[in-house]
Amino acid sequence: MKYDVVIIGAGPAGYVAAIRAGQTGLKTAVVDKAGVGGMCLNWGCIPTKALIESARVYQKVKTAATFGVAGVDKNALSFDFAKAAARASRIVNKLTRGVGFLLEKNGVDRIEGEAEILSPDQVTVNNRLLETRYIIIATGSKPEIPAGSSPSGWTHIQDLLPLTDIPDSVVLAGSGPRTVELAQFFRLIDKTVAIISPEESVLDILDPYLQDFVVRKLKKMKIKVLTGTVSNLVDNSITINGKSIPCGLLINSYQRKALIPENPLGLIAEKGFLPVNQDLETAVPGIYAIGDVNGKSSFAHAASAEGIHVINHIHGIKDKLDFDKIPINMYTTPEIAQIGPSLPELQARGLDIKVSEFPLSANGKAMTEGQSEGFVRILSETRYGEVMSVQMVADHATDMIAEAGALMEIEGTIYDLARVVHAHPTVSEIFMEAGFEAVDKAIHK
């Protein structure tokens, strides 16, 4: 069978690239050994956010009396993990069916199986030869087990939904946004939680100012954060730095490494990932790598953007994918979002930066919702006032950060932001107020 594009992997990178390829007239096949949706849709982004939402509702019901709702005995409440997981699975099934429909609608051939790259224009799947002009590798990544540790006793993210119950003590070994999200989730459902991070910082992807907030928040929630390496789970406990920690569930949340298809072309990982150029093309012309496999970003929205970028590149459309302008979203309590470099990074580039901040505690809508913890922080360069980075800590921050992205995409300034009328009462007013603060002075501060 001959194709214009063969895409290996049907996660957020692969299936979005496949849909866009089909939409733009390319004869396309997408190959995946485990159906569509990848890690994000099946086990990561969507199901974990569904679980987090269930935990938030659980906590919200506990505070019902504060909102004038009588008759709720918070001491009688309990969290049914199996039912929450079943709800998450229903959402996943609906979305995966939707992705399958979109692939079919746009003329994309779906092939189930494990792909092997034979040459720059040949891929084989289940002894079936696919000839193609371009190959896109979107195979994602796999969890790493720490050196010196055996797989026994470890639970991976994809193993969470089948669980029927969660033990009283949970340890997450690793770092990064997803580690913190899950740690808070388990704490919200009344579990004892610890994070064992191999690095001093659990969240080095964030601006240090946001990192400090997270450290304080985890401490306030009584989530232990320790630095070290986990070996194995023995008799429901692990030992870190000479201390024994209760551990009924040990979750592998270490950084993942590229999963690269078999090939004779020298396409191998460097520092855990497949190297690519600015257009996401590998060292072999005509073969691209997008999503987790290239290590540029671990976020699904980045993977999807990379997929669209590559299809545009195949069509000869010159464009630049600016990773500085890809949001970092964390579905924590409260949510955290950042777009743009950190303050130290901007200063290292020789920029003179003004920092402007507005607290969520001064926002009326946040107060009505009982969620007034947080702030918005704008980093702008002093000469023209261009917004270089925006950091948000607030409920709905992961939604609101898109406005900052749109502003930065057009090289907008603090003056542009201050001129945008934001509806009242909305939490988004904090962004406008931070713009006022950057220009001269916020109204409600």
| Domain identity same for 222 and 261 | no
Give DSSP secondary structure letters for 106-119. Answer: TTPEEEES-EEEEE
Mean pLDDT of 158-175: 91
Higher-scoring residue by pLDDT: 161, 15: 15
| Domain identity same for 272 and 376 | no
Enter the pTM of the model.
0.94
148 lies in a domain?
Answer: no
Distance between CA 64 and CA 58 in Å, rounded? 10
Higher-scoring residue by pLDDT: 246, 207: 207
| Domain identity same for 77 and 132 | yes
For residue 297, give the DSSP letter: -
| Domain identity same for 41 and 104 | yes
Tell me whether residue 424 is one of the annotated catalytic residues: yes
Read off the CATH number of the domain in which 291 is found. 3.50.50.60
349 lies in a domain?
Answer: yes
| Domain identity same for 75 and 224 | no
Of 232, 253, 274, the one marking the end of a domain is: 253
152 lies in a domain?
Answer: no
Q: What is the pLDDT of residues 283-340, one digit of tens each?
A: 999 999 999 999 999 999 999 999 999 999 999 998 899 999 999 999 999 999 999 9
105 lies in a domain?
Answer: yes
| Domain identity same for 170 and 245 | yes
374 lies in a domain?
Answer: yes
Mean pLDDT of 106-120: 97
Q: Please report the pLDDT score of residue 361 as a whole number.
A: 97
Of 324, 346, 363, the one marking the end of a domain is: 324
Of 303, 324, 345, the one marking the end of a domain is: 324
Whose structure tokens read 């600015």? 278
Q: What count of Cα atoms within 13 Å lies in the side-chain half-sphere of residue 295? A: 17
Residue 394's domain comprises 334-439
Among the options 301, 396, 424, 444, which is catalytic? Answer: 424
Q: What is the dihedral of CA 91, 97, 100, 105, to 10 degrees?
A: -110
Domain count of the fold of the chain: 3
| Domain identity same for 40 and 100 | yes
DSSP H helices, 167-299, are: 177-188, 208-220
| Domain identity same for 85 and 195 | no
Q: What is the pLDDT of residues 167-219, one digit of tens each?
A: 999 999 889 999 999 999 999 999 999 999 888 889 999 999 999 999 999 99
Please name the helix (run of DSSP H) or strand (run of DSSP E) that holds residue 390, with its range, or none.
strand 387-393
| Domain identity same for 6 and 128 | yes
98 lies in a domain?
Answer: yes
